[in-house]
């Protein structure tokens, strides 16, 4: 058997139907919204990788610092034979785990971006030629069927991506993660922590404008897939800290009054001058809240690690006894 298999659980028509439904629902409500998963076509995935290298975008560096320092502890605590990674993207930080997981038999990266999975597989197979790599093109919010690889299983969800889910979506997601775990399996979760708002806003609105290009990429995806006529230059990228809900919102602000046509939906969407379309929330967390949400899903937190500047946390949890 080849060490690399790629399974698509998102056939093209399903993706298109989901995009149509999200765009129709999100652009006909007030305030207008689009879910962040549509950022990640090949260009969006590339732009995200550039974001992770920006001086303002500390989460990747902070999480990498923890992974470097703790990968051996994680390997020892979990003794995992299979690593499942949700929203794996480039899998770049995962390489610190793979280097320490000497007993690992299978790696199952799961992402909506097939181009990101293909890119990651190329690098990982060169570094770990014996690894059984089973990539899944899938939506991690939509119920996953994982391949029957050996246990114990470690499910990882890195990058603070959990913060992109709204609180009710997060609860449903954590319940689904709990459903993937047998006794003796573990869940490794990366969460960005609440900190000075100026640091947070800068991380989502960098001086070089890469995050702005990433944000506007969702408009290009809707143009390409649904024949819409969004002019990305007619919108400004905005990042706002919501102190009450403790999350960053990325928004696209319409610079003028304008009508956008979306022929595939037979829809014309009116934007008032200054009206904002929310494209992402990125919730920031505190330890007690993370442990409470994990416990509500039936998961006991057994380890909590932060980087030396307390910017980011990794937690390891396991099904409650």
Ligand X SMILES: C[S@@+](CC[C@H](N)C(=O)[O-])C[C@H]1O[C@@H](n2cnc3c(N)ncnc32)[C@H](O)[C@@H]1O
* Binding interface with ligand X (CB under 6 A): 37, 40, 45, 48, 52, 60, 87-89, 93, 111-113, 116, 139-141, 158-159, 161
Rounded to whole angstroms, how far apart are CA atoms 77 and 288? 22
Q: Which two tokens stand for residue 18?
A: 């989901």
Question: Which one, 213 or 295, has the nearer CB to ligand X?
Answer: 213
Contacts of 249 (CB under 8 A, 6+ apart): 239, 240, 242, 278, 280, 281, 282
Work out how close the CB of 111 gets to ligand X at its nearest, in angstroms, rounded to a whole number.
5
Work out how close the CB of 78 gets to ligand X at its nearest, in angstroms, rounded to a whole number.
18
Rg (C-alpha) for the chain, rounded Å, is: 20
Question: Which one, 26 or 159, has the nearer CB to ligand X?
Answer: 159
Contact status, residue 57 vs residue 65, Cβ threshold 8 Å? no
Q: Is the dihedral of CA 89, 95, 96, 101 positive or negative?
A: positive
DSSP 8-class letter at 139: -
Q: Which helix (H) or strand (E) holds 238?
A: strand 235-242
Question: Residues in the chain, how many?
Answer: 321
Residue nearest to ligand X (CB): 159
Question: Which one, 40 or 230, has the nearer CB to ligand X?
Answer: 40
Work out how close the CB of 92 gets to ligand X at its nearest, in angstroms, rounded to a whole number.
7
Work out how close the CB of 240 gets to ligand X at its nearest, in angstroms, rounded to a whole number.
18
Scored b (16 or more CB within 10 A) or e, 220-243 reads bbbbebbebebebebbebbbbbee
Work out how close the CB of 140 gets to ligand X at its nearest, in angstroms, rounded to a whole number.
4
Question: Which one, 116 or 252, has the nearer CB to ligand X?
Answer: 116
Question: Which one, 80 or 156, has the nearer CB to ligand X?
Answer: 156
Work out how close the CB of 243 gets to ligand X at its nearest, in angstroms, rounded to a whole number.
22
Q: Count of alpha carbons within 13 Å of 228, Cβ hemisphere only?
A: 24
Question: Which one, 113 or 315, has the nearer CB to ligand X?
Answer: 113
């Amino acid at each position: 058997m080849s060490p690399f298999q790629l399974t698509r659980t998102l056939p093209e028509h399903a993706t298109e139907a989901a995009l149509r439904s999200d765009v129709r629902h999100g652009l006909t409500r007030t305030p207008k919204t689009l879910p962040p998963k549509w950022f990640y076509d090949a260009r969006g995935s590339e732009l995200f990788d550039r974001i992770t290298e920006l001086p303002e975008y500390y989460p990747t560096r902070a999480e990498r610092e923890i992974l470097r320092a703790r990968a051996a502890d994680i390997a020892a605590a979990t003794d995992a034979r299979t690593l499942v990674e949700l929203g794996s993207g480039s899998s770049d930080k995962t390489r610190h785990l793979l280097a320490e997981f000497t007993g690992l038999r299978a790696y199952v990266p799961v992402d909506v971006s097939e181009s990101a999975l293909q890119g990651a597989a190329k690098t990982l197979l060169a570094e770990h030629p014996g690894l059984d790599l089973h990539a899944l093109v899938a939506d991690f919010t939509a119920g996953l069927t994982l391949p029957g690889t050996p246990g114990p299983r470690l499910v990882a969800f890195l990058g603070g991506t959990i913060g992109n889910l709204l609180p009710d979506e997060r609860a449903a997601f954590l319940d689904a993660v709990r459903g993937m775990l047998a006794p003796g399996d573990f869940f490794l979760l990366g969460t960005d922590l609440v900190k000075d708002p100026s640091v947070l806003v800068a991380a989502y609105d960098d001086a070089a404008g890469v995050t702005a290009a990433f944000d506007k990429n969702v408009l290009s995806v809707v143009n390409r897939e649904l024949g819409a006529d969004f002019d990305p230059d007619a919108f400004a990228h905005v990042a706002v800290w919501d102190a009450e809900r403790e999350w960053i919102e990325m928004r696209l602000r319409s610079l003028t009054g304008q009508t956008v046509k979306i022929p595939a939906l037979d829809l014309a969407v009116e934007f008032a001058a200054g009206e904002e379309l929310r494209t992402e929330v990125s919730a920031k967390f505190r330890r007690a809240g993370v442990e409470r949400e994990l416990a509500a899903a039936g998961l006991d937190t057994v380890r909590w690690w932060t980087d030396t500047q307390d910017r980011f946390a990794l937690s390891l949890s396991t099904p409650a006894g």
